[in-house]
Structure 1
Amino acid sequence: MKRTHLPLNGLRVLDAAARHLSFTRAADELAVTPAAVGQQIRALEDMLGVVLFRRTPKGLELTPETQAGLNALRAGFLEFEEAVRAMQAGQSSLSLTIAAPRDITCKWLQPRLAAYASGHPGLKLALVAADEAIDFTEANLDIAIRLASDAGEHEGVALGEPLFVTVEAANGGPDQRIDWPGCPLGDSPAVLRVADAGLAIEAAATGFGRATVPAMLVEADLADRRVRAVGNPVAASQSYWLIAPLPQWRQKKVKTLVEALTA
């Protein structure tokens, strides 16, 4: 069934003017001029084909037509407010679905989410492994992390500097390269190929050789002295990005998480 076009702005002005029985006080409430209130009321009267107010020596009076519809109008506005609250509830809920490559989830994201969750009682998280293309529609995601040169078609923010560092076991290791998809090419032969940078770090820690990985991914292992750096960090073309389509990016719960992860 086709819905009747509702002049919502005019009806909102009508509600305020009826409560105050004054265009001036209604204008103050709505932050417009009394003239604008009068124009809205006249336009509404023309559309409805009825007189909504009568001017008397004592001020404005409601006509029977206005009185007949006022209760239903106000009940309708209450329903609108409830609908808005219901729609906002999903955006401000304590449920977040995050897609990220397995290596950054294990090495970087999970510890930070644990700290974030400790300050947000009731938080429910769903972590989805996503090493390739991310489909926000199919997976019903709120936000994702990917290794890329920019945010691409989505909104986003870089999580750190685009730096890579080469690491080896804490007590040293052979000058042999540990390879992984996305690893910058090195001069030494690859002794081992693994699925991601996280596994490359683990292989380096156990003495297989040297792994060149994103600097932010290996921060904790360097701090714990599980591995040691070989040479200085080098600039890279890619870094980790937090990304989401604009509707998800605007959600309060996503904004709050982004602020926490980029603090």
Structure 2
Amino acid sequence: MKRTHLPLNALRVFDAAARHLSFTRAADELAVTPAAVGQQIRALEDVLGVVLFRRTSKGLELTDEAVAGLDTLREGFLRFEESVQAMQAGQSSYSYAIAAPHEFWATWLAPRLAAFRKENPEIRYQLIAGEEVDFTEANLDIAIRLAEGPGDLEGLQLAPAMRVVVATDSAPDDWIAWPGAPLPDGAEAVLQVGNAAQALASVRAGLGKAMLPLLLVEELLADGRLKALQGPEPGHRAYWLVAPRPQWRQKKVRQLVEFLMA
């Protein structure tokens, strides 16, 4: 029998039924109905061409054919568990590969990662340049993206999608435009930049005003380094923590996400 044709689910049901010698108790363990257990056992018997259980006045009994393969089957399941544990161990619990926009790393994420590491000194970080990096190619654990939603990934929104027009106290009344923030009708930009990082750097240098995500500039507004000229107001894009489902389920990723969301 080819490996791809192994009836693994039916073998798992057989193992449970053999341990309990009861379809009902096996069903309780597997969170299915006794009828489903019976169907799996009959299907397995059809595939193998043998009878696995017989009913007696005392209840279910294993046939000689069932007993002959049971120890090896259970050893196989143990090897499966060891294999899974080995694969999980290959992903370090203390190392994070993170992709994030440069400006967001500098103003929001880096201080929080420092606080997380203060509580967990064994932690190590690797920052991957570019928020749209492929998770598989870069072996990412998690990414932060400025987007309308998580797309095909699992994700949590860090804050509501709010935006605000900001400038320094001495800045001229000139617009700085970037692709993520359309200008008001009739407004003309004196400076066109490529992303939020360049827009924020230009604002902080006193070149003019720009519309930026509130979460990006919230702390700069709070300590007076920037001032709000308009807003905050609802926007379309927010900062999202995103990852494919396998990464999202990792214990270390859940711990970091819980810390950042807190």
Q: Report the TM-score, using the length of structure 1 for normalisation.
A: 0.75
Cα distance between partner residues in 1 of 2:42 and 2:149? 53
Q: Deviations over 1:139-197 (max 9, x none)?
A: 23333223333434444443333333233335x3333444555444364662x566643
Q: Is the 8 A contact 2:162 2:234 kept in 1?
A: yes
Unaligned runs of 5+ in 1: none
| CA distance 1:52–1:102, change in 2 (3 Å) | same
Alignment of 1:102-113 (within 5 A): 102-113=102-113
Q: Which residue of 1 aligns with 2:224?
A: 225
**What's the C-alpha RMSD, in Å, of the aligned pairs?**
3.6
Cα distance between partner residues in 2 of 1:234 and 1:35? 57
- Secondary structure of 1:233 counterpart: strand
Cα distance between partner residues in 1 of 2:250 and 2:178? 35
Unaligned runs of 5+ in 2: none
| CA distance 1:109–1:67, change in 2 (3 Å) | same
Q: Which residue of 1 aligns with 2:172?
A: 174
Alignment of 1:123-202 (within 5 A): 123-130=123-130, 133-170=132-169, 172-185=170-183, 187=187, 190=190, 196-202=195-201
Q: Is the 8 A contact 2:173 2:208 kept in 1?
A: yes
How many percent of aligned residue pairs carry the same amino acid?
61
Alpha-carbon offset, residue 72 of structure 1? 0.9
Q: Report the TM-score, using the length of structure 2 for normalisation.
A: 0.75
Alpha-carbon offset, residue 75 of structure 1? 0.4
Cα distance between partner residues in 2 of 1:58 and 1:237? 68
Alignment of 1:1-263 (within 5 A): 2-3=2-3, 5-23=5-23, 25-31=25-31, 37-53=37-53, 60-89=60-89, 93-130=93-130, 133-170=132-169, 172-185=170-183, 187=187, 190=190, 196-263=195-262
| CA distance 1:120–1:46, change in 2 (3 Å) | same
Cα distance between partner residues in 1 of 2:194 and 2:83? 47
Alpha-carbon offset, residue 253 of structure 1? 4.0
Cα distance between partner residues in 2 of 1:231 and 1:24? 66
Q: Deviations over 1:73-101 (max 9, x none)?
A: 11011112223334445678343322222
Q: Is the 8 A contact 2:177 2:189 kept in 1?
A: no
Please say which structure displays the higher CA radius of gyration.
Answer: 1
| CA distance 1:60–1:112, change in 2 (3 Å) | same
| CA distance 1:27–1:116, change in 2 (3 Å) | same
Give the number of aligned pairs.
260
Cα distance between partner residues in 1 of 2:136 and 2:196? 27
| CA distance 1:61–1:238, change in 2 (3 Å) | closer
